[in-house]
Amino acid sequence: MPFADGARFELTSECDELVLWFYFYIDYEAFDQLEDGIGRFHASWHRECPTDGIEQGDLTNGQFLFEGDNTTGDGNYTILETKGRGHYVGCTFNVTNLRHTEAWNWYGEGDDMIFVDGESWPPNIHGTGTEDYFNTAWCPSEPFHGPYHGITMPGGPNWSGQISMYRFHIEDPVTFSESVRVTIEHGHNNQRSDDISSVAYWYLDRIDETLTLPRSRSGCRGSPDGHHPSRAARRGHRGLTGHGMRRAAARPAGDPGRRGFVLDGVTGVTRIAQLTGPGAINDTASVLLAGADLGHMTTVGDRTWLVFGDNFGIREDDAFGGTGDVWKSNCLAWTTDDDPTDGLTFDGWILDDLDQVKEVLPENTSRTSRSGR
Helix, strand, coil shares of the chain, percent, nearest 5, are 5, 35, 60
SS3 for 14-75 is: CCCCCCCCCCCCCEEECCCCCCCCCCEEEEEEEEECCCCCCCCCCCCHHHHHHCCCCCCCCC
Residues belonging to the chain = 373
> What pLDDT score was predicted for residue 319?
65
Question: Is the previous residue joined to 122 through a cis bond, with omega within 30 degrees of 0?
Answer: yes
Longest dimension (CA), the chain: 82
> What pLDDT score was predicted for residue 264?
67
Taking CA atoms, 175 is separated from 89, 109, 126, 306, in Å, by: 9, 25, 15, 57
Q: Residue 239: which pLDDT band, with cuts at 50, 70 and 90?
A: very low
Which residue type sits at 350? I
Q: Residue 323: which pLDDT band, with cuts at 50, 70 and 90?
A: low
Handedness of CA 278, 283, 285, 288 (dihedral sign): negative
> What pLDDT score was predicted for residue 248?
35
As a whole number of angstroms, the distance between CA 239 and CA 25 comes to 16
Share of the chain above pLDDT 70, in %: 80
Most confident residue range from 33-42, 56-65, 317-326? 56-65
Phi, psi of 202 (to 5 degrees): -160, 165
> What pLDDT score was predicted for residue 37?
81
On the question of pLDDT at 39 being above 70, the answer is yes
> What pLDDT score was predicted for residue 138?
84
Mean pLDDT score of the chain: 81
Q: Residue 262: which pLDDT band, with cuts at 50, 70 and 90?
A: low
> What pLDDT score was predicted for residue 320?
61
Q: Residue 222: which pLDDT band, with cuts at 50, 70 and 90?
A: very low
> 158 in helix, strand or coil?
helix
On the question of pLDDT at 242 being above 80, the answer is no
- pLDDT (average), residues 319-339: 80
Beta carbons of 61 and 104 less than 8 angstroms apart: yes
- pLDDT (average), residues 312-329: 72
Taking CA atoms, 108 is separated from 125, 186, 196, 312, in Å, by: 18, 8, 12, 45
- pLDDT (average), residues 63-82: 95
> What pLDDT score was predicted for residue 86?
95
> What pLDDT score was predicted for residue 20?
80
Of 201, 4, 234, which Cα lies nearest the Cα of 87? 201
Q: Taking the CB of residue 107, how many other CB atoms lie within 10 A of it?
A: 23
Of 300, 292, 299, which Cα lies nearest the Cα of 359? 292
On the question of pLDDT at 313 being above 90, the answer is no
> What pLDDT score was predicted for residue 290?
85
Give the distance, in angstroms, between the CA of residue 19 and the centroid of all CA atoms in the same chain: 14
